Amino acid sequence: MQEKHCGSCGAPMTSDEMYGTETTGNKSIDYCVYCYDKGVFLQPDITLDEMIVFVSNVMVTQFGFSKEDADAQCKEGIPTLKRWKN
């Protein structure tokens, strides 16, 4: 089974606790708990560029990525996620 990732930030959703919720209280199939709760985005006004910077910084500070690798992965991957596709 393929690992599911958040359609907003790209975070791996590896357990039920990682899934955000819909207005019904059901788990979201698309978005993580850090991005989505009760059917709304927790940062509704964040731009794509701001999300790229935010996630890149998390990758560096919490997961030990180099700034260059984190930036490259975020710039390549985040624009392809559901929230950011036009």
Q: Is the pTM of this model over 0.85?
A: yes
Say if CB 20 and CB 37 are below 8 A apart: yes
pLDDT averaged per 10 residues in sequence order, the chain, 86 residues: 86 94 96 97 97 97 96 97 91
| pLDDT attached to residue 2 | 61
Contact indicator for 8, 83 with CB cutoff of 8 Å: yes
pLDDT at position 38, please? 97
Is 70 in contact with 59 (CB distance < 8 Å)?
A: yes
